[in-house]
Amino acid sequence: MATWSQSDIDNLKKAIAEGVLEVRFADGRQVRYRSLKEMRETLDMMEDEVNPSAAPRQMATFAVHYRD
């Protein structure tokens, strides 16, 4: 399991905004992603690890029926 930093998240967000598929992280690693989808999935994973309380909560939806 990788250890991510806020700086890594910021670098990935910047790459997504600029439309580039290659990112250099704080520890010197350089990663080339295959697609924007892969970048967004990685970003979600990174944010969940760095800020677990900010992760979206699972929600349930219930149907309601009213009888006239």
How confident is the model over 18-57, as pLDDT tens digits? 999 999 988 888 999 999 999 999 999 999 898 877 656 6
The 3-class SS string of the chain reads CCCCCHHHHHHHHHHHHHCCCEEECCCCCEEECCCHHHHHHHHHHHHHHHCHHHCCCCCCCCCCCCCC
β partners of residue 31:
23
Total domain count for the chain? 1
Q: For residue 46, what are the domain limits?
A: 6-54
CA dist., res. 24 & res. 62, Å (int): 44
Structural domain contains residue 19: yes
Distance separating the N- and C-terminal Cα atoms of the chain:
56
Structural domain contains residue 24: yes
Structural domain contains residue 66: no
Indicate the pTM of the whole model.
0.71
